[in-house]
Structure 1
Amino acid sequence: MSAEANIEPSDYDAPDTFDQFISDLKARARHAKSPIISPRMFCLALGMDVQTLAARAHVHRVTVNRAQGAERLQAYLRDAVRVMGAAAEVNGSFQDAAFWFRNEPIGAFDFKAPEQLVSEGRAEELLRYVQSLSAGVAG
């Protein structure tokens, strides 16, 4: 069992900034000697359980723990991180971006939350939407 599996939610405080979130992910990758996004750290930072991550990434829940480098899982994590990074750039707070990502329905996308949209493979559309918000075009 990896050291990462021993991290409890009470042992990790989600960061305030996106840069700190990325730094935490990088530190975990260095510790694990693997250049992948840690599903466990992602879950801890977003207050997400493994089963939810598995469902969103369209992988079996065992994959999240035992095959963390699986391409489908890593693709979902990369897209989710990109979208949250864009959202954090707009509002400056990782916590707000994470809440938005997990919970806020977007009218332009049939009132689906960003987390659902990334799961559907619509990260590029969502990024364009966030960029338009940043530019003041949509709202």
Structure 2
Amino acid sequence: MLSEFLAEVTDSRRRMISPQRIADRLRVTQAEVARLAKVHRNTLAQKPDSAVVQEGLGEIARIVSTAADLLGGDTGRAVVWFRHQPLSGFDGRTAAELVEAGNGAAVLAHLAMLRDGVYG
């Protein structure tokens, strides 16, 4: 079963994560989604089903979905957390800023530590 967030951003007809749905759900522009996914905005628009675009969008979706799980399934709060909450141990940067800088794996590791009860 898909997480609520992943279900919301997936285009089941095309069998891919939709860049437009990610943008709508995060309340950001397509250009911002392209930066987060680490792809050129033209690539995002012209080849949304390419492996590189889907990999970047998948990372975003995994992070927001994991955060939502930790927040009792509240995807709205997870989106706010992703975009606005400074993370401890990351010089006050948000999850979105870390993802944009290529540190999505560190965000996922941070969430795993929180899930396991390690705070700090």
TM-score tier (shorter):
0.7 to 0.9
8 A contact 1:57–1:73 mirrored in 2: yes
SS in 1 for 2:17: coil
More helix by share: 1
The Cα offsets for residues 45-99 of structure 1, whole Å up to 9 and x where unpaired, read as 1101011112222322222221102333222111111111111111121001111
Q: 1:36 aligns with which of 16, 19, 27?
A: 16
- TM-score, normalised with respect to structure 2: 0.85
Q: Which residue of 2 aligns with 1:19?
A: 3
Are positions 1:48 and 2:28 aligned together?
yes
Q: Which runs of 5+ in 1 are unaligned?
A: 1-17
Are positions 1:127 and 2:108 aligned together?
yes
The Cα offsets for residues 85-136 of structure 1, whole Å up to 9 and x where unpaired, read as 1111111210011111111111311211101212233222211211211222
Change (3 A) 1:114 1:39: same
Report the residue type matching 1:80 in the other structure.
I
Q: Which runs of 5+ in 2 are unaligned?
A: none
Structure 1 consecutive aligned stretches of length 4 or more whose deviation exceeds 4 Å: none
CA RMSD between the two structures: 1.8
Q: Over alpha carbons, which structure has the higher Rg?
A: 1
Change (3 A) 1:62 1:37: same
How many residue pairs match? The answer is 118
8 A contact 2:86–2:94 mirrored in 1: yes
8 A contact 1:29–1:38 mirrored in 2: no
